[in-house]
Amino acid sequence: MNTNNKKRISTKKLFTLIGLAVGFGVLIFKVLATESFMGSNSIYGDYQKDWWQYLLLFMMIIFILAVSNAVLKIDRKDNVIKSQIMLYSSMFLTVVMCFVTDLYFGEYARPLALAGIFAAVTLNKRAAIYTNVALAMIFILVETFAKGFSQITVVPSLCGMFAGVIMSMLISSDDTRLKTVFTIVAMIPVYVILTVIFGAIFNTLNWDMLVSSLLQSALSPVLAGFLFLGLLPLFEAMFKLVTPYYLSELIDINKGILFKLSVEAPGTFNHSLAVANLTGACALALGEDVRLARATSYYHDVGKLSDPSVFKENLISDEQNPHDKLTPELSVNLIKRHVTYGVELLRKHGLPEEIIKGVMEHHGTLPMKFFYHKATKFTDGYVDIAEYSYEGPRPTSKVTAIIMIVDAAEAAVRTIHDRTRVKIDEVIKSIIEERMELEQFDDCDITFRDLQIIRRTLVDNFAGIYHERIEYPKLKLVRRQNDQSEEK
């Protein structure tokens, strides 16, 4: 059932992708066929074309897009179709905005770097660089096709391409939205200098039009920056993008679900903070997305809000454990509920599927050993361990596998009294080996080497958390008295 669902979703995305590619061609054809856009050199003017020339242009554009698709597949191992749709949508919007800008401002004002900025923020720098190059090539092809080859058809696209590549390299995933826009706007001098350099190389510097060209060049990054700022929330909502900005907003503990968790389930909240810090360290060691790992860890146990009092960490030290009076079957159902309720809660609040998957998968199909053992004491017959196990699914990503290990390790290390490196290492080793024995990592691409790195990282971090301190002497200090008597 789930497999068919995935196929339907993939087919829908594939048709969307094809629609975007066709839309690209139709849009360019429409623009080429518009005399008001191209003037006397339009296809209705003196520069008439044959059908095979249109076909050749279309094939060249498809080839450029196909190469960009291949580059994307190399960099993205998951959510490839979604990334393709997002990338082509941003390129499509950039083309539209460039055509509009040509009509009202001029060629040099094109926000050609817009799609590259989206790629730099949502994908990676390599995809961003190729996106800038691909769009510049498409514009050079289209304008050469429409007007014939000349320096004036090449220079604006080259300026936009080189400035976009530089901009993509400067944008950091650690930046806030506002800082990213400031970085983009700070590219104004670069655009202007590139316009002068390429104008001098191609001998297109017209003193009568110089001021106008430079003003258009200065406008280009401003338009790109504000269009990016305005369109990013739309892209985040449409494609459920997990951007660094969005993740930074999600881990704000002073509002929303996390604030409610800190008030109603403080034990779970503090456990989640500890898990987030440890998971982030492991993700960094493996080269995984640290922000996503931390954000998922913050939310992995929010389902315990369904009934915080049935979880040990939320009980006051002298408070009776409610499970002492419950049957193992009822206890298991209450514990299992925190996974399903967590998924429902996060979907209700519109959180991304990447985080929801972490909530669903972080327990995999592991048995609840305490209640299974308790059940075996109540009966002499066979007890099905599956009835005392989580329903899964098992982890499908390295991030979720890390959270599965860290979640158990953080709780287990708290229970031991001898927190030496050797003892901590033994605990973590047993947790990893147990999960390997129970085939919990069979659905994700985590390797034995990765597991060893996680183990070492956790040992180092736990040693830092439970570090030893010198014992201060029990010395009572008193305030010094003034021994001098008052003079009379």
For the chain, which domains are there? 11-237 (no CATH), 245-465 (1.10.3210)
Return all residues near 247 (Cβ < 8 A) that are at least 6 apart: 291, 292, 294, 295
| Residues 90 and 25 sit within 8 Å (Cβ to Cβ) | no
pLDDT for the residue 174: 64
Report the alpha-carbon distance of residue 446 to residue 450 in Å, rounded: 6
Angle (nearest 5°) at CA 293 between 292 and 295: 65
pLDDT for the residue 440: 94
pLDDT for the residue 85: 78
Q: 3-state secondary structure string, the chain?
A: CHHHHHHHHHHHHHHHHHHHHHHHHHHHHHHHCCHHHHHHHCCCCCCCCCHHHHHHHHHHHHHHHHHHHHHHHHHCCCCHHHHHHHHHHHHHHHHHHHHHHHHHCCHHHCCCCHHHHHHHHHCCHHHHHHHHHHHHHHHHHHHHHHHCCCHHHHHHHHHHHHHHHHHHHHCCCCCCHHHHHHHHHCCHHHHHHHHHHHHHHCCCCCCCCHHHHHHHHHHHHHHHHHHHHHHHHHHHHHHCCCCHHHHHHHCCCCCHHHHHHHHHCHHHHHHHHHHHHHHHHHHHHHCCCHHHHHHHHHHCCHHHHHCHHHCHHHCCCCCCCHHHHCCHHHHHHHHHHHHHHHHHHHHHCCCCHHHHHHHHHCCCCCECHHHHHHHHHHCCCCCCHHHHECCCCCCCCHHHHHHHHHHHHHHHHHHCCCCCHHHHHHHHHHHHHHHHHCCCCCCCCCCHHHHHHHHHHHHHHHHHHCCCCCCCCCCCCCCCCCCCCCCC
pLDDT for the residue 483: 54
pLDDT for the residue 344: 94
- The residues facing 367 across adjacent strands are 389
pLDDT for the residue 10: 47
pLDDT for the residue 258: 94
Contacts by 290-293 with C-beta closer than 8 Å and gap 24+? 291/173, 291/244, 291/247, 291/248, 291/251, 292/242, 292/247, 292/354, 292/355, 292/399, 293/399, 293/402, 293/403
pLDDT for the residue 324: 81
pLDDT for the residue 23: 57
Residue with tokens 């209705």: 44
pLDDT in tens, the chain (488 residues): 333 334 334 454 544 555 555 555 555 554 544 444 444 444 334 445 666 766 777 777 777 777 776 766 665 555 667 777 778 888 888 888 888 888 888 888 888 888 888 888 877 788 888 888 888 888 888 777 777 666 667 788 888 888 888 888 887 766 677 777 788 778 888 888 888 888 777 776 666 677 777 888 888 888 888 888 888 888 877 777 778 888 888 888 898 999 999 999 999 999 999 999 999 999 999 988 898 999 999 999 999 999 998 898 888 776 777 888 888 889 999 999 999 999 999 999 988 888 999 999 999 999 998 888 888 888 777 888 888 999 989 999 999 999 999 999 999 998 888 888 999 999 999 999 999 999 999 999 899 999 999 999 999 999 888 777 777 777 777 777 665 555 54
Angle (nearest 5°) at CA 418 between 413 and 423: 65
16, two tokens: 């969307």
